[in-house]
Amino acid sequence: MRPALIALTALLLPYKVSSQQARNFPLESAAGLRVHNVTAEAVTLDGKRGVRLTVSPEVTRRLQALTPDQLTQLAQRGSIEGVDLEQLAVIEGIDFSSGVIEAEIAGAPAPDAGAGARGFVGIGFRVQPDLRTYDAFYLRPTNGRAEDQERRNHATQYISHPDWPWFRLRQETPSKYESYVDLVPGVWTKIKIDVRGDKARLYVNDNPQPVLIVNDVKSGANGRGAVALWIGPGTIGHFRNVTVTPGQ
């Protein structure tokens, strides 16, 4: 029986190991991305090949049709009733619960963006099929070196849509889900998101210490779903070299 057991183990072990292996997505083209309210195209930024996301023309038209009150509501809550304005590009073939997501990202306000644009750029995880329910970490690059300290303190952000947009988190628990980190708009920035059940940490530019710690990830200890490239309103976002490593 012992030789048979060894043979069976040899057959099963590769499948177990492969399920825990890191998967790398260079993003040298838009292939393998399922876009939602964004346009994705392959471009080169500072000599590095990646994918650029911009707000789709249809979303731009919808935004232009909103009333001032609706625009205010959108800015404060991140959404308005009856209008889906989530801006994502889902990486096909990933079912993520816990583990590590690494990427190089860059964000800057679009030329026609409003005064409140910050170049919002980040990564969504545990994204549900409705493309409205997910957790995310993102950066506000123009805040990184702002002359106003309060703006600097809002350089990073955790959110969990649809129930926990940035505005609600800031209103109910000021400073808990945001932090400062040095950022420059339009410059490639390395990020690492480490998710362990209902705890998550954001690392920036290979710093061994996290810049933002979340001890109550809103999707819960057992949440799971897709991984997506994420941009906010009025943003031109760049993404490359995404690596997803499953964890226990």
Q: Which residue has the higher pLDDT, 8 or 148?
A: 148
Residue ranges covered by each domain of the chain: 23-246
23-246 architecture in CATH? Sandwich (2.60)
Q: Give per-residue pLDDT as tens, 51-62.
A: 999 999 887 787
- Give the pLDDT of residue 44: 98
Q: Give per-residue pLDDT as tens, 179-202.
A: 999 999 999 999 999 999 999 999
Q: Is the model's pLDDT at 177 over the cut of 70? A: yes
Q: What is the mean pLDDT of residues 19-30?
A: 90
Token pair recorded at residue 128:
């549900």
- Give the pLDDT of residue 74: 67
Is there a cis peptide before residue 162, judged by omega within 30 degrees of 0? Answer: yes
Token pair recorded at residue 233:
């309103």
Percent of the chain topping pLDDT 90: 77
Helices (H), the chain: 2-18, 57-64, 68-77, 149-152, 166-172
Q: Give per-residue pLDDT as tens, 107-145.
A: 999 998 888 899 999 999 999 999 999 999 999 999 999
Give which of 202, 199, 248 is closest to 220, Cα–Cα: 199
With a CB cutoff of 8 Å and minimum separation 6, the contacts of 150 are none
